[in-house]
Amino acid sequence: MPPIRHRATQRQSRQNRVLDLFILSFIDYVLVLGLRRPFLWVLLYVYIDILAPHRIGYTLITTLPLSLIAFAAAFGGWLALDRKEGARFTLRQGLMLALLIYCWWSTGHADFQEEALHKWDWVWKALLFAIFLPLTLTTRARIEGLALVLLLSVATIVIGTGMKTILGGGGYSNLKFFVNDNSGIYESSTLATVAIGLIPVLWWFVKHGTIFRPHWTVTAFAVALTFACLLVPVGTEARTGLLCIAALAVMTLRHTRRRLLFIAGAGVLGLTALPFLPQTYYDRMATIFAPSGDQSASTRMAVWEWTLDYVAQKPLGGGFDAYRSNRFAYTMPVTKTEGNTTTVTYQEVEDKARAYHSSVFEMLGEQGWPGLALWLILHALGLWQMERLQRRWKTAGDEATRWIAPLAAALQSGAVIYLGGALFQGIAYQPVMVMLVGLQIGLHSYCLRIDSVRPAPGPRASRKTATSGTIQGAVAA
């Protein structure tokens, strides 16, 4: 090896070791702090599960079971060291537990045992952690802390993605993130959905955050991060991202007071952005309106039809990755242009073992009608509970409660965006989104607890004073 190349290799190796040591030092530091504040271990697991630092590193860190260590610390710390006041087991946690048990049963009867066990290896952890998470969210500080770690962990990926997009590194299946792995949150459409879905939570922090108080620097960061989130669908050219942006616009329009101004501003912003979008982005988005001319869209529709036929024969589903048994044929138009003449011919395409590309059909094919029903009820209850919280607390004027209705609205908007994106992606068990479910449950349980200590109706002035005192006491518990 030439000396110059050898020195460059050594320098790169040292840089890789420094990066690994930096990440490990941070994780060790949080583990030590958790001896005094066990909830920090819950946040550490959220950080590790989302960002996957063991996939970012190069040397020692890649061999350590960081996720398992944080997982054990979070559960063990809560059982042994953390306080349990205010913790309660709710109906939605029961639904997730039922879904977890059903997935375990279906895995044992799966059509493809080896592949099913591989998916089960991460699904059970995602569901179990989401079931456990609300038990730890007993104060406003904890609810806000979890929301912040969720947001900033995703933001770490989003900021890098936005920078690469601006610098010209985008393109469908070409944009690289922290890791060279097109799975989990690092899959392009998944990242686009998660990034857009967390924008409402980001702007809740601008107005109501207490960890980072409202300040012009917080607003400036939120503006920049929102811009980066909106760049993710552009850089990845994920069609689902455009649908998520549309869902975000609808939900924002619902909650804004100046609707005409919002519509005008969104229109101007969209028209201003159009000249800067690459032609490849236009070409890919155009396939939304002509799915029959796109092989990916045609495949999805064929898979969905196959799934309906499959569950007609196996209503309990075929376990994880049951799609591997599909085989079908469909007709695709083929356009050829020679000079000024364009001809369109149709040819039959055969395909097999194609993924569902929809969380609804993912649940239906893998867990059958019972699993799909559990999943739909779980999310429908979340939308309904967040709606009730908004209506219940929208007139709250006390500092201890005025943040509740806006956070419920943000979580509801995030859920709507996720469900919209999930219609065209197999992300039914996406860890960030099931954590968002856990956050919804935690907020709902917290509100039930502080609402239960409100005094009986009486004179208006005394009721306001008594309510403030009892709620402050519940918050401090």
Lowest model confidence (mean pLDDT) among 146-150, 209-213, 466-470 = 466-470
Answer yes or no: do 52 and 201 share one domain. Answer: no
Helix (H) or strand (E) holding 253: helix 239-255
Answer yes or no: do 63 and 167 share one domain. Answer: no
214 located within any domain: yes
* pLDDT, position 257: 77
- Count of domains in the chain? 3
Q: Which residue, of 352, 367, 394, is where some domain finishes?
A: 352
Closest CA to 426 of 187, 177, 247: 187
Contact 161, 231 (CB under 8 A): yes
Answer yes or no: do 335 and 365 share one domain. Answer: no
Q: Which residue, of 352, 376, 394, is where some domain finishes?
A: 352
Mean pLDDT to the nearest integer, 89-109: 95
Q: Is the pLDDT of residue 471 over 50?
A: no
Closest CA to 471 of 395, 384, 396: 396
Q: Is the pLDDT of residue 152 over 90?
A: yes
73 located within any domain: yes
* pLDDT, position 148: 95
* pLDDT, position 84: 82
Closest CA to 354 of 315, 300, 427: 300
Pull the structure tokens for residue 168. Answer: 């010209």
Contact 128, 429 (CB under 8 A): no
* pLDDT, position 477: 43
Distance, in Å, from the CA atom of 4 to the CA atom of 377, rounded to the nearest integer, reads: 62
Looking at the DSSP bridge assignments, the partners of residue 331 are 348
**DSSP tally for the chain: helices H, then strands E:** 18, 2
Answer yes or no: do 99 and 167 share one domain. Answer: yes
Answer yes or no: do 139 and 113 share one domain. Answer: yes
Q: How would you label 345-378 residue by residue, b for 16+ Cβ within 10 Å and e otherwise?
A: eeeeeeeeebbbbbbbbbbbbbbbebbbebbeeb
Mean pLDDT to the nearest integer, 272-293: 56
461 located within any domain: no
> What is the span of the domain harbouring residue 243?
85-286+358-452
Q: Is the pLDDT of residue 168 over 80?
A: no
Answer yes or no: do 90 and 228 share one domain. Answer: yes
Answer yes or no: do 98 and 147 share one domain. Answer: yes
Contacts of 463 (CB under 8 A, 6+ apart): 455, 457
Answer yes or no: do 304 and 381 share one domain. Answer: no
Answer yes or no: do 295 and 362 share one domain. Answer: no
291 pLDDT tier (thresholds 50, 70, 90): low
> Backbone phi, then psi, for 318, in 5-degree steps?
-115, 15
460 located within any domain: no
Answer yes or no: do 335 and 208 share one domain. Answer: no
159 located within any domain: yes
Closest CA to 233 of 199, 271, 268: 199
Q: Which residue, of 48, 67, 82, is where some domain finishes?
A: 82
Answer yes or no: do 271 and 239 share one domain. Answer: yes
* pLDDT, position 465: 42
Answer yes or no: do 282 and 309 share one domain. Answer: no
196 located within any domain: yes
Work out the burial of residue 183: count CB atoms within 10 Å of its CB; fewer than 13 is exposed, 13-18 middle, 19 or more buried. Answer: exposed
> What's this model's pTM, rounded to 2 decimal places?
0.85
| 3-class secondary structure per residue, 349-380 | EEEECCCCCCHHHHHHHHHHHHHHHHHHHHHH
Contact 201, 151 (CB under 8 A): yes
Q: Is the pLDDT of residue 411 over 60?
A: yes
5 located within any domain: no
Q: Is the pLDDT of residue 284 over 70?
A: no
173 located within any domain: yes
Mean pLDDT to the nearest integer, 279-304: 62
